[in-house]
Structure formats: C-alpha cells, structure tokens
Structure 1
C-alpha cells in the first residue's frame, strides 16, 4: 500500500520546485526527503521525478500518481471535516494566511472577536504576499485571506472555494495639502510622480493594466510593495500612491485620499478554504469572524 506521507512529500516537491525547498517547508533535511522519495519509487516500481535543470519535474508516472494523490488528500480532508462536523465543535488550532494590507483593519479585529468567542482556539497567522492559495492546497494553512482584482483573470486553484468578503477600491493618496479629496481621473496621474507596487505583484499588475486601458504610461520613480512606505512617501509630498482603502487608517495624519473617477481599480477580498462536502467548524469560525468585520 502506498504511504500517504510519501505522496504528500512528492506533491510538496513539485509545488516547491526542488527537494531542498520542499524539505525546508516540511521541517526535514533534504536527505530525509530524498530517502522517502526513493522508497516511493520502489513502491511504485518506476521513476516519479526527473532532473529538470536545477529543479525536478514529474515523469508521466509521477503526474498520474500526483493526480490520484490529490483525490486521496481530498478524501482524507473530507473525513476529517465529517468527524469535526459530528462533534460540532471548533478545534484547538487553525492557521490563517493573510495579506499584510489586511492586518490592521480586518485580521486584527477578526482575531480579537474570534478569541473572545472561542478562547481555546489557537490561531497561527502567517502574514505574507506570496502564494497563499498554494499553501492552502498543500494543507499548510487552513484559511486564506486573499485578494483578486476585478479586471484580472481568476486564478483560484482546484479544490479551493473562495468566500467573498468585501469590495476594496484603490484610492489615490497624496500629501494632505496637495489634494482637495475630489475624484481623480486615472489619466491625470500621468502628471504625478507615483509610488507603485512591483510589476510582478497582483496589485502592481492590476494598476499597470488599468493604466494601459486608460492610455496612461505611469511614471513611477518609487517601487515598493510596502504600503507603510507608500504612505510615507505620499505624506512627504514625494509621490502619489494608489492604495487599497482597507489598508489606510481613516484617521491617518498628513495624507488625503481621493477615489479614482473614471476607471476605478477594485480588489475583492475573500476568505478561501479547502472545498469539502462537509463544512469544517473550525475553518467556518474563522471565515465567520472575517465576514463580520468585513460587514462592519
């Protein structure tokens, strides 16, 4: 019989791109992972991985094995959810992955409310911009507070369900004495020195795409994904920023915000969980707390 732990290691190696990266995420040595994959190869009687430059790739047999492994993992998670539903109790631990821009006004109040309602629940919160939905599909996190931009393709992977939380427009942010707060046509930003997120981030791609649709080639002498840095540059009068509304404290001093008038840029915040026929009470409790804050 195939060892499910070895199947999980195989899937993790493919997702991470190398045995070393997979070992690091699993808290193991690369040698230990290699030994388990060698044992898996003996179990199936054929190579499941092949060298691919500095990384590894699946063989045809490995691809078939991972496809079946996904169904096996789905069945295991379904069984876990079914047992939890029978108990109808929130578990002892849960892991939430969240975007940095959501921490102050969404995550923190949601976790405060969750702690009051379920004091025995321990929440581990991973604040990261990187590949949260992949971590959800790998089983390393239980709930993801993520984002998708309305005019960009939906990249939600198989086996994941996204629960909409709120619509979050990007606002034009300037120094308080540089704007009267009236709506700003996106094309007018051609006259501004901008601070933008890196073009390889979700927000950076969304902003650049919206600018192209408006016939605008933005001038961005400042490039950073750090929203605190973006706001600091705007406050100093050095640049104009485009920042999600939920990432801005309403009472933040020294800045003024304005909506985009003609081509608004919206992101949707969502809480994602693994798809299951039977709901997991623990993940549901986290999603419910996030929804409550979003409604407020």
Structure 2
C-alpha cells in the first residue's frame, strides 16, 4: 500500500524542483527525503524522478503517480474537513500567509479577534511580498491573504477557493505641503517623479500598465517594494507614490492622499483556502475574522486633500 507521506514528499519535490529544497520546506534532511522517495520507488517498481541539470524532474511514471497523488491528498483533506465539521470546533493550529501591506489594518485586527474568540487556536503568520498560493496548494499554509489587480490577468491555481474581502484602491500620496486639493488624473503624474515597486511585482506591473493605458511612461526614480520607504520619500517631497489605501496609516503626519480621478487602480484583497466540499471550521473562522477586519477598515476614511 502506498504511504501518504511519501506521496506528499513526491509532490513537494516536484513543486520545489529539488530534493534539497523540498527537504528545507518539510523541515527534514535531504537524506531523509531521499530515503523515503527510494522507498516509494520500490513500492511502485519504477523510477519516479530523473536528473534535470541542477534540479530533478518527474519521469512519465512519476507524472502519472503525481496526478493520482493529488487526488489522494485532496481526498485526505476532504476527510479531515468533514470530520472537523462534524466535531464543529475550531482546531488548535493554523498558518496564515499575508502581504506586508495588509498587516496593520486587516491581519492584526483579525488575529486579535481570533485570539479573543478562539483562545485555543494558535496562529502562525507568514508575512511575504508575494501571495503564497503555491504554498497553499502544498499544504504549508492554511489561509492566504492575497491580492489581484483588476486590470491584470487572474491566475488562481486549481483546487483553491477564493473569498473576496475588499476592493482596495491605490491613492496618490504626496508631501502635505504639495497636495493639489482634488482628485488627480493619472495622466497628471507624467510630470511627477514616482517612488514605485519594481515592475516584477504585481503592484509595479499594475502601475506601469495603468500609466501606459493613460498614454505615458512613468518617471520612476525610486524603485522599492517597501511601502514605508515610498511614504518616507513622499513625505520628504522627493517623489509621488501610488500606495494601496489599506497600507496607509490615516494618522500619519506629513503626507496627503488623493484618489485617482476616473478609473481607479484597484486591487482585490482576497482570502484563499484549499477547496473542499465541506468547510473546515478552523479555516472558516480565520476567513471570517479577515472579512470582518476588512469590512471595518473599509468604513475608516483617510483624510483626503
């Protein structure tokens, strides 16, 4: 009989590209993973992996087994969710992956509420610049607080359930003494020096695409994904920034925010979980807390110019 843990290791190696990387993510030694994969090879009687440069790749037999492994692991997840639903209680542990820009206004209030209502639940929070949807599918995180910009293509992995939380507009941020006192047309920023994220990030791509749609290439002299750095540069009068509303402290001194006139640049904040027929009470509680925090944030108005 196939060992479910070995199937999980095979899937992790396929996703990570190497036994070493898979071992690091699983908290095991590379030797331990290699040993278990060798045992899996003996179970099925064929090679499952082959060298591919500095990485490894699945053989044809490995790809076939992985397809079945995905279904088996999904069925295991379904069984665990069904049992948890019958029990009807929130579990003891869960891991949330979230974007830095959501921590202050959504994540922290949500975790505070979870601690108050479900004190038995220990939350681990992974704060990272990129939504960890792949980690969600691999089972290393349970809930992802991610983003998708409305005018960019959607790419949701198979087996992932997305719950919309909040439409979060990008606001124009300038030094308080340079505010224009009205909504700003995006094309007006053609004459501004911008502090913006790298074009390789989702936010950077969204800003670049919107500017091109407005008929200009932005002058980006300061390139950083660190929103605190963008706001500091704006406060100093060195640059104009386009920052998600959720990431701005309404009480921050020295800056003013203005909405974009006409079509805004919007990101959808969402909570993602692994899709199951039966809702898991633990992940459902986390998503509900995130939704409540997002709703409360949406009613807090920033001081506009």
**Over 6 Å off, 4+ runs:** none
| 2:188 corresponds to 1:188 | yes
| 2:209 corresponds to 1:216 | no
**Residue 37 of structure 1: CA displacement?**
1.5
- Which whole-Å CA distance do the structure 1 matches of 2:198 and 2:191 have between them? 20
| 2:253 corresponds to 1:253 | yes
Structure 1 partner of 2:58: 58
Over 3 Å counting, the alpha-carbon distance change for 1:264 and 1:149 in structure 2 is same
- Which secondary structure does the structure 1 equivalent of 2:288 belong to? helix
- Which secondary structure does the structure 2 equivalent of 1:130 belong to? coil
Over 3 Å counting, the alpha-carbon distance change for 1:89 and 1:194 in structure 2 is same
**Residue 199 of structure 1: CA displacement?**
1.2
- Which secondary structure does the structure 2 equivalent of 1:50 belong to? strand
- Which whole-Å CA distance do the structure 1 matches of 2:203 and 2:55 have between them? 29
Please tell me whether the aligned partners of residues 47 and 61 of structure 1 are also in contact (alpha carbons under 8 angstroms): yes
- Which secondary structure does the structure 2 equivalent of 1:195 belong to? strand
Structure 2 partner of 1:287: 287
- Which whole-Å CA distance do the structure 1 matches of 2:16 and 2:198 have between them? 22
Structure 1 partner of 2:86: 86
TM-score (norm 1): 0.97
**Residue 73 of structure 1: CA displacement?**
0.8
**Residue 157 of structure 1: CA displacement?**
0.5
Please tell me whether the aligned partners of residues 181 and 256 of structure 1 are also in contact (alpha carbons under 8 angstroms): no
- Which whole-Å CA distance do the structure 2 matches of 1:185 and 1:56 have between them? 50
Structure 2 partner of 1:158: 158
Structure 1 stretch 48-57 or stretch 93-102: which is displaced more?
Answer: 48-57
| 2:179 corresponds to 1:179 | yes
Over 3 Å counting, the alpha-carbon distance change for 1:26 and 1:190 in structure 2 is same
Structure 1 partner of 2:105: 105
**Residue 226 of structure 1: CA displacement?**
0.8
CA RMSD of aligned residues (A): 1.1
- Which whole-Å CA distance do the structure 2 matches of 1:186 and 1:50 have between them? 51
- Which whole-Å CA distance do the structure 1 matches of 2:52 and 2:12 have between them? 16
Structure 1 stretch 7-16 or stretch 165-174: which is displaced more?
Answer: 7-16
- Which whole-Å CA distance do the structure 1 matches of 2:130 and 2:19 have between them? 19
**Residue 14 of structure 1: CA displacement?**
1.5
Number of residue-to-residue matches in the alignment: 296
| 2:12 corresponds to 1:12 | yes
Structure 1 partner of 2:236: 236
- Which whole-Å CA distance do the structure 2 matches of 1:13 and 1:221 have between them? 40
